[in-house]
């Protein structure tokens, strides 16, 4: 048994301490229970990944249009047509009805509403497209959840610096105000941003996403202020009449210390979480400012590297801090994977790992996916949910919405018998259920990414996240449900995993619904999977893990 140093690592240590007595068997037990009766089951899409119609209806060019037209995506693919959802509203809503979901999360293309990024360029045809989609959803009994920004910035704004230019705060506020005014009578849940860490890190940090700049800390600063102003304009002008909620969907891995008996690794895991999740969540949910760990680490690097300055963190004014704190009606979480983290000397290298002095790894036993950054470690979701509840929601009663969870398969092979996705979905949903039933975490929604295959940025159409297969070789883009779509619809119909037959009883009568069950057979789908245990139940935290270094960049 190893003992967690709670003083050194704060709430990260408290969460780890709560699970330190678990064997691997206990950690991976399956909870046979139901979700609450009012639980929200959702799936999602993103505008540039599915809409197509890139230059129709007055839509302006986006940074992803420019990216694709430069031949920077896989096999020179573009999002010009994508899934053609711009012309297939009824088709997509038909798919949603078949899934039994009660919630659909989609994003609005800023450039389809305001082609230049500003109100004076408003396209009525673009607004009518979203009116049609929202109305069709409501008529089918599906709640629309709208994301205002999922990465597709109008190129006209990028030409003036995009998220590095402070003027974008007012532009985003005006865009948000228009959307609230136009659609808020029917849309009651809004995400201002989805995965802004990816926008900052991949778009303006590593340059893997457009626009390819290297000013991620300033970008985050402007995104946080943009979110805050959008929340306040809703709160001041629209909330009383519309009665909705506005929040932000933050992405984060769970960071497990590579060796929990080493205080250095414990502290490194905490830094990983602060550099990913805390960068955005701490200002909004804790005190209006960046985490102390992040500020200290950046300042130490500035002293250590006076000639290269790998990072410079902007400062919020006292007035801005007051305005930022509490500017969210829920905590949105996009989560896909976990990491094993150890302490390292990052030197003067820019980026989270260099500035944060940590390295991230995966356990070779974790199941891989078509993505080089998503590995299946479902138990990490439960720990992350407990961490969020402990670290950020102690002073507020806002719920957690899981706004994105999923994995891709390869575009080659059998696209319909996606057994790996079913196993991934089932295990992650069950860990969310454990967090709710066993840890008391207030999770109210689970969103499976995605409704259908789409354009996945640099990967083009080579990776498929969809519950429905889209044939991109045919001009009418037919959609066909995969096995995972049938699986998900049955989970929703049963509202979870409870069964009439109880398979396990503890002597004390506790955790009586936890058991080993054949995961693939749960919903009656023949998947020909064998459930195996890959770690000894006697494994201790002292045991050496053979791991390999990976990138923490998200796609």
Q: Over the stretch 87-141, which tens digit does the pLDDT of each residue have?
A: 999 999 999 999 999 999 999 999 999 999 999 999 999 999 999 999 999 999 9
Closest-CA residue to 487 (of 419, 407, 404) = 419
437-447 average pLDDT score: 98
Tokens of 433: 């259920």
- Which distant-in-sequence residues (6+ apart) come within 8 Å of 172 by Cβ? 148, 149, 226, 229, 230
> Residue ranges of the domains in the chain?
9-494
Centroid of chain to Cα 377: 15
**What pLDDT, on the 0 to 100 scale, is given for residue 213?**
52
* DSSP bridge pairs for 40: 445
Q: What is the mean pLDDT of residues 13-32?
A: 93
The region of weakest confidence among 156-170, 490-504, 532-546 is 532-546
Q: Region 178-196: what's the mean pLDDT?
A: 98
Which one, of 470, 442, 443, 441, lies nearest residue 455 by Cα? 470
Greater confidence, 205 or 125? 125
Q: How far apart are CA 143 and CA 190, in angstroms?
A: 11
Q: Is residue 4 very low, low, confident or very high in pLDDT (cuts 50, 70, 90)?
A: low
Is the confidence at residue 74, as pLDDT, over 50? yes
Q: Is 516 helix (H, G, I), strand (E, B) or coil?
A: coil
Q: What angle do CA 30, 31, 34 make, to 5 degrees?
A: 140
Could you give the CA distance from residue 50 to residue 409 in angstroms, rounded to a whole number?
17
In this predicted structure, what is the pLDDT of residue 108?
98
Peptide bond into 450 cis (omega under 30): yes
pLDDT at residue 212 in the model: 53
Structure-token match 């300042």, residue found: 299
Distances (CA, A) of 80 to 65, 166, 203: 7, 30, 20
How confident is the model at residue 67, as a pLDDT? Answer: 96
**pLDDT value of residue 499:** 75
Compute the distance between CA of residue 527 and CA of residue 544 in angstroms, rounded to an integer.
34
The pLDDT of 159-177, averaged and rounded, is 97
Q: Could you report how far apart the first and last alpha carbons of the chain are, in Å?
A: 38
Tell me the average pLDDT of the chain: 89
| pLDDT tens digit sequence for 291-307 | 999 999 999 999 999 88
Residue pLDDT, tens place only, 367-411: 999 999 999 999 999 999 999 999 999 989 899 999 999 999 999
What is the DSSP pairing of strand 443-448 with strand 40-44?
A: parallel
* pLDDT > 80? residue 501: no
**C-alpha closest to that of 403 among 150, 202, 153:** 150
Q: Report strand pairing: 463-464 vs 409-410.
A: antiparallel
DSSP-derived pairing of the beta strands 400-405 and 443-448: parallel
pLDDT tens for each residue of 26-54: 999 999 999 999 999 999 999 999 999 99
pTM comes to 0.90
Identify the pLDDT of residue 203: 67
pLDDT the model gives residue 62: 98
Tokens encoding 328: 């969210």
Strand partners, 496: 34
| pLDDT band at 515; cut points 50, 70, 90 | low
**What is the mean pLDDT of the segment spanning 504-516?**
43
DSSP state of 476: T
Residue scoring higher pLDDT (122 or 512): 122
DSSP helix/strand/coil, 129: helix
Q: CA 173 → CA 119, 235, 246, 474, distances in Å? A: 11, 12, 13, 39
Mean pLDDT of 76-85: 98
For domain 9-494, give the fold: TIM Barrel (3.20.20)
Give the residue ranges of DSSP H helices in 392-539. 419-439, 483-494
For the chain, what's the residue count? Answer: 555
Helix or strand holding residue 470 (H, E): strand 468-470
Per DSSP, what are the bridge partners of residue 404?
A: 334
Residue 151 sits at the vertex; the CA angle it makes with 148 and 155, to the nearest 5 degrees, is 100
Contact between 435 and 385 under an 8 Å Cβ cutoff? The reply is yes
- Highest mean pLDDT pick, 142-156, 405-419, 495-509: 142-156
């Amino acid at each position: 048994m190893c003992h967690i140093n709670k003083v050194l690592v704060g709430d990260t240590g408290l969460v780890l301490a709560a699970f330190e007595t678990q064997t691997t068997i206990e950690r991976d037990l399956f909870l046979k229970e139901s979700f609450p009766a009012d639980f929200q089951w959702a799936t999602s899409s993103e505008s540039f990944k599915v809409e197509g119609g890139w230059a129709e209806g007055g839509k302006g060019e986006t940074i992803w249009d420019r990216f694709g037209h430069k031949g920077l995506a896989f096999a020179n693919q573009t999002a010009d047509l994508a899934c053609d959802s711009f012309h297939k509203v009824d088709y997509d809503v038909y798919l949603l009805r078949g899934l039994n979901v009660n919630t659909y999360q989609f994003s609005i293309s800023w450039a389809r509403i305001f082609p230049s990024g500003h109100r004076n360029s408003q396209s009525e045809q673009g607004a009518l497209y979203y009116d049609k989609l929202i109305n069709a959803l409501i008529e089918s009994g599906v709640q629309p959840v709208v994301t205002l920004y999922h990465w597709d910035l109008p190129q006209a704004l990028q030409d003036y610096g995009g998220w590095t230019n402070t003027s974008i705060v007012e532009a985003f506020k005006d865009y948000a105000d228009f959307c609230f005014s136009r659609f808020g009578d029917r849309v009651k849940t809004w995400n201002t941003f989805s995965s802004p860490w990816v926008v900052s890190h991949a778009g303006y940090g590593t340059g893997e996403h457009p626009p390819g700049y290297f000013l991620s800390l300033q970008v985050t600063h402007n995104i946080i202020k943009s979110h805050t102003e959008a929340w306040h304009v809703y709160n001041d002008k629209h909330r009383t009449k519309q009665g909705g909620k506005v929040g932000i969907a933050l992405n984060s891995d769970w960071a497990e210390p590579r060796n929990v008996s080493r205080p250095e690794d414990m502290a490194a895991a905490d830094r990983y979480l602060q550099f990913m999740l805390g960068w955005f969540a701490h200002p909004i949910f804790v005190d209006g400012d960046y985490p102390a760990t992040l500020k200290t680490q950046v300042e130490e690097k500035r002293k250590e590297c006076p000639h290269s300055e790998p990072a410079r963190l902007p400062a919020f004014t006292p007035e801005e801090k007051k305005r930022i704190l509490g500017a969210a009606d829920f905590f949105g979480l996009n989560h896909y994977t976990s990491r094993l983290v150890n302490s390292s000397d990052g030197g003067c290298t820019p980026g989270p790992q260099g500035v944060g002095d940590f390295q991230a790894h995966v356990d070779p036993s974790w199941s891989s996916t078509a993505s080089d950054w998503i590995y299946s470690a479902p138990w990490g979701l439960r720990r992350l949910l407990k961490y969020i509840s402990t670290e950020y929601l102690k002073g507020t009663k806002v719920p957690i919405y899981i706004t994105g969870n999923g994995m891709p398969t390869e575009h080659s092979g059998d696209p319909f018998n996606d057994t790996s996705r079913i196993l991934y979905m089932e295990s992650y949903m069950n860990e969310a259920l454990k967090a709710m039933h066993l840890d008391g975490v207030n999770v109210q929604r689970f969103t499976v990414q995605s409704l259908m295959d789409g354009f996945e940025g640099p990967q083009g159409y080579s990776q498929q996240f969809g519950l429905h297969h889209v044939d991109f070789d045919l001009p009418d883009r037919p959609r066909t449900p995969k096995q995972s779509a049938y699986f998900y619809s049955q989970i929703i119909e049963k509202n979870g995993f409870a069964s009439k037959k109880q398979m396990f009883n503890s002597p004390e009568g506790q955790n009586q619904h936890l058991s080993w069950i054949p995961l693939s057979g749960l919903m009656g789908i023949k998947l020909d999977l064998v459930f195996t245990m890959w770690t000894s139940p006697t494994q201790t935290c002292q045991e050496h893990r053979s791991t390999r270094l990976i990138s923490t960049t998200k796609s």
